[in-house]
Structure 1
């Protein structure tokens, strides 16, 4: 009888207050692919007693969370903000469902369920959260951590910077005789590296880019790096553009340095997917020759697993490199490193380790082959792609190769 009385009393405590516990979810306008995105739940206790709360948020099916819940305690009339993070690994629409709140009184015999209709779809874009992070790296002394430093070169390109008084060591070929006659002092023209050079990110959308590492495909790593390098190129006064290719060239954004360029690149990257076809490098060469007339820096994101695969496409890459500064960016198979680090104790493990060593060696041979033909290359782990691409771009700018 006592238990029944306490049970009824617990029900009255929870249901006599019609408001109970109030909750709402605060989402960003868009998610950033491959990054930790912050989600906020604002919960308010309308009871006049301390209550225990279990929050079950209906997350998008892409996360495949079956047991996601948050437990917390609220004081009487307390308002609380609860944060958690999600890491999406594929672009597209993410549908968040209802917010379910289970509230218990101090007695704790039952829990009152309240459901709040907070259904909403949020687009998941390429990793825009990395923009400020890597922009900071590229424009501060943090570059020294990655083996580079800022270099300001006074070159002999066509871009004029200023007229200054001659000092010992200046090139006498740059003497400005008109300014010298007016000032009665030797004056020289000073030049700087040419700006507004076209920087194109070229993304291979063939089947080789579908391989996943740490839940992100190689294509998504390339897309995230493209967004970051385009932003840095524009900040460095260059023109940023991009296009993709597989059986044909698509998703072309002509290299420009306008305010809306980054938004155009972001929207274009959002809709890119692999088509599981064999990439046509001959078609790539034809389209590059036809559509890009000025010498440009082409950052080509692709993947070669064997030397034979490179040799099949090498003549097209050489033809592109004759007109443009071509950088081939391809990926280490980090899963093979785990095999190499493990001791081999059985015949099968020895066999697997030998094959892994062969593939790792072939990757190094690909780098040597590209260097032999005067083509720049980056062999990188997928997670280091963005940093290594930035460093290569800054190195090219510092050395005046473009």
Structure 2
């Protein structure tokens, strides 16, 4: 159906004051004002007839059948017979965000980014084009109704894992893997840069050559990825960005992938007010799809996290010392107190890596140069909150937990690198 443009409305509105002015100055010429309005209506009708009819537009489209959260995918739509000045807009459901809409000949390309896991839907394509005189716009809604499944970001997992293994292949971690493990490997001549504590003085005296012990990193260890899926983690990091939970899921899958490739066993555990997902330990690269499928089923929650129930349930499932990577977010002092107590109990039998997101918003407020009196009070409050946060992390370190704070952009690689470093140091 055609609709008038602002140009047509302004043109028609100009005729009213002109008709009143002519009627006041020359009452006999009032008919000219009426004729002006009729002429405007005739131009609008002619513009509508000259524009292409919606029925003459043929649509073909290529939409993604599956998407990974946070990774943009192209949606290309061809509209044959559409005027060059036509505009297009893609209507999608909530988890999807659309940008672009650039014309490439008769095709229109959009970039679609899923912001949450689950199911998204391409609802419709809206087309709008003006007539030759710009007085009328035709509008057409083409229903699409195609659903798309949104899964965890496995592409990022593969890319970051490749970078980690590439660094290892280039020798950045080979020396640590062979030199600081827990199983004796061999004796070799001491070289500059090796740990002096590795020198074997007994064999050095026997062979009259400075010799050092080399160790091999023990394999087949347990690496358990524990994800907080409560309210704070389910909220987006910032408007238009991913949730902390999705960033944590990607980091957990990256850690699991690296651990499985290095010969360890991995498990995924998620909890909010109660346990959500528990996969059990898997081994080998063939076990990774099971973790991937389980990660897809971790639900977003509006409930507060119960660390006591969740981590206690996890501890009951572990029958040997394991590396437990806890990824969470905290804000309330009471919640932090209960969390510290629970993590402290977990460190008695297991090695805990506690990972939290850096509060970039608070850091920015505390570091900003004040312009008004309110800015000073905001900076003071932000500094106090950051101080309380650091106190929580310090208490966790004193309880024996490894602690890592990482920003959202480098969260996955930072966690995976720390896990690799812990394994190479033989702490488990």
Distance of aligned partners of 1:7 and 1:92 in 2 relative to their CA distance in 1, 3 Å threshold? same
Alignment partner of 1:229 is 2:255: yes
1:34 corresponds to 2:70: yes
1:88 equivalent to 2:118? Answer: no
Distance change (3 Å), C-alpha of 1:208 and 1:3: closer
Using the alignment, how far apart are the partners of 1:288 and 1:8 within structure 2?
A: 68
Residue 278 of structure 1 and its aligned partner are, at CA, apart by 4.1
For residue 311 of structure 1, report the CA deviation from its aligned partner.
3.5
CA distance in 1, matches of 2:306, 2:299: 16
Residue number among 147, 159, 166 corresponding to 1:133 in the alignment: 159
1:340 counterpart residue number: 366
Task: Output aligned runs, 1:88-237, within 5 Å.
Answer: 88-102=114-128, 116-141=142-167, 149-150=173-174, 151-154=176-179, 157=182, 168=189, 192-215=216-239, 216-237=242-263
Residue matched to 1:186 = none
Take 2:383 and 2:44, find their aligned partners in 1: how far apart are those partners?
A: 71
Q: Distance in 2 between matches of 1:198 and 1:29?
A: 36
**Equivalent-residue separation in structure 2 for 1:5 and 1:210 (angstroms):** 53
Q: In the alignment, is the contact (CA less than 8 A) between 1:33 and 1:89 conserved in 2?
A: yes
Compared CA separation, residues 271 and 8, structure 1 to 2 (3 A): closer
Q: Which residue of 2 aligns with 1:58?
A: 91
SS in 1 for 2:330: coil
Q: Describe the shift of the 1:86–1:351 C-alpha distance in structure 2 as closer, same or farther (beyond 3 A).
A: same
Q: Name the residue aligned to 2:195.
A: none
Change (3 A) 1:55 1:285: closer
Q: Is the 8 A contact 1:24 1:116 kept in 2?
A: no
Bigger proportion of residues as helix: 2
Q: 1:370: which partner in 2?
A: 396
For 1:237, what is the secondary structure of its paired residue?
coil
Q: Is the 8 A contact 1:53 1:73 kept in 2?
A: no
Q: Is the 8 A contact 1:24 1:99 kept in 2?
A: no
Indicate how the Cα distance of structure 1 residues 58 and 168 shifts in structure 2: closer, same or farther if over 3 A, else same. closer
Q: Is the 8 A contact 1:26 1:41 kept in 2?
A: yes
Partners of 1:340 and 1:191 in 2: CA distance? 46
- Contact kept, 8 Å, 1:198 with 1:297, in 2: the verdict is yes
CA deviation profile, 1:317-362 (whole Å, cap 9, x unmatched): 2221121110111122211122123333444322221110011122
Counterparts in 2 of 1:316 and 1:72: CA distance versus 1, 3 Å = closer
C-alpha displacement of 1:279? 3.2
| TM-score (norm. length: structure 2) | 0.72
2:60 is aligned, of 3, 7, 24, to 24
The 8 Å contact of residues 97 and 114 in structure 2, kept in 1 or not, is answered as no
Aligned residue pair count: 367
Tell me if structure 2 keeps the 8 A contact 1:56–1:69: no
Query: Cα deviation per residue 1:184-210 (whole Å; 9 max; x = unaligned)?
Result: xxxxx9863222322111012233324
Q: Equivalent residue for 1:70?
A: 101
Change (3 A) 1:110 1:315: closer
- The verdict on how the C-alpha distance between 1:344 and 1:258 changes in structure 2, with shifts beyond 3 A counting, is same
Closer, same or farther: CA 395–57 of 1 in aligned 2, 3 Å? same
Paired residues of 2:180 and 2:425 also in contact (CA < 8 A) = no
Larger mean CA deviation between 369-378 and 24-33 belongs to 24-33
CA distance in 2, matches of 1:69, 1:138: 33
C-alpha deviation, 1:234, in angstroms:
1.9
Rg comparison, structure with higher value: 2
Query: 1:251 Cα shift?
Result: 0.7
- The offset of 1:289, in angstroms, is 3.4
Contact 1:202 1:300 in 2 (8 A): yes
Aligned CA distance change for structure 1 residues 270 and 229 (closer, same or farther; 3 Å): same
Give, in whole Å, the separation in 1 of the partners of 2:45 and 2:189: 100
User: Is the contact made by 2:367 and 2:379 (CA closer than 8 Å) also made in structure 1?
Assistant: no
Cα distance in 2 between the residues matched to 1:237 and 1:28 = 35
Deviates more, 1:349-358 or 1:249-258: 249-258
